[in-house]
Amino acid sequence: MISAVIITKNEERNIEECLKSLSWADEIVVVDDESSDRTISLARKYTDRIYFNRLENFASQRNFGLSKAKGDWVLFVDADERVSAHLATEIKAAVLTNEFEAYYVKRSDFAFGSWLKWGETASLEFIRLAKRNAGKWERPVHETWRVKGEVGHLKSPLLHFSHPSVGEFVETINHFTSLDAENYFKQGRKVPIWGMIVYPTAKFIQNYLIRQGYRDGRAGLVFAVLMSVNSFLIRAKLWSLWNTNRSASSG
């Protein structure tokens, strides 16, 4: 039995297409963080396994979903992702072999009106499919599924539709860089001034030149620049948190 788990928050634009792509799963579990749009009413067309849980952090939210899944295998899919027929077939075949405890899944990104075939997104893969008791999710943001045992690799990618426009990508960057900075601040991490220059510059070079993002044309250039901005904002916001904390302490 395969359970698919999706965590949601105001995903009325994405949730229906996501759930349609999971119609082959034995069970669909939706964990919602107080959506105020039509996410839940749309989700009810496809599953009655809907749970409400206020988001504390992303790892705990996914672990909550994991605890509600009944399948021997669990697949995590984000609302802005789709499982293609090829990937669904590959998943169903993989779980029958019982060769691995979990599987890495690639992701193919659709951004700014085109598929990104180069840059860092072309090489990303995540553990998204695993036996229910293989492990737990860790890290409050950019969470990872830590599993015990051998991990295989699936060939077919998840289809990712997260950045339909530059404006929405900027909003996403602003949100997640704040979460990243807060997480690093809690860990006591600081950033040297040179890091605010070197890391964003290196991020652009890595995306656009080393990983050949230029081959994706203007979309590749925009993506490389925005990921460099992402790198800078994390460090700038972390510096701001330390600066505010210092001012409050001295006052």
Residue 103 β-bridge partners: 129, 152
Residue 75, domain CATH: 3.90.550.10
Q: 56 and 83: one domain?
A: yes
Strands (E), 72-118: 73-76, 81-82, 102-111, 114-116
The chain-wide mean pLDDT, for the chain, equals 94
Q: 55 and 6: one domain?
A: yes
The answer to whether residue 246 scores a pLDDT higher than 90 is: no
CA 62, 64, 67 angle in degrees (round to 5)?
110
pLDDT category of residue 247 using cuts at 50, 70 and 90 = confident
Cβ atoms of 128 and 103 within 8 Å: the answer is yes
Q: For residues 85-107, give the mean pLDDT.
A: 96
* Angstrom distance (rounded) from CA 111 to CA 210: 20
Backbone angles phi, psi at 98, to 5 degrees: 60, 30
- What percentage of the chain's residues is helix, strand, coil (to nearest 5)? 45, 25, 30
Q: 82 and 149: one domain?
A: yes
The alpha carbon of residue 13 and the mean position of all alpha carbons in its chain are separated, in whole angstroms, by: 17
Q: At which of 128, 162, 196 does a domain end?
A: 162
How many independent structural domains does the chain possess?
2
The domain containing residue 199 runs over which residues?
165-250
Q: At which of 162, 189, 210 does a domain end?
A: 162
Q: At which of 134, 162, 190 does a domain end?
A: 162
Q: 186 and 170: one domain?
A: yes
Q: 121 and 214: one domain?
A: no
So what's the pLDDT on residue 109? 94
pLDDT category of residue 250 using cuts at 50, 70 and 90 = low
Q: 9 and 128: one domain?
A: yes
Q: 130 and 69: one domain?
A: yes
Give pLDDT tens digits for 163-207. 778 999 999 999 999 999 999 999 999 989 999 999 999 999 999
Give pLDDT tens digits for 25-82. 999 999 999 999 999 999 999 999 999 999 999 999 999 999 999 999 999 999 999 9
Q: 104 and 187: one domain?
A: no
Global confidence as pTM: 0.91
Q: 53 and 93: one domain?
A: yes
So what's the pLDDT on residue 98? 84
Number of H helices, E strands in the chain: 7, 12
Give pLDDT tens digits for 159-169. 999 877 899 99
The alpha carbon of residue 227 and the mean position of all alpha carbons in its chain are separated, in whole angstroms, by: 15
Q: 26 and 73: one domain?
A: yes
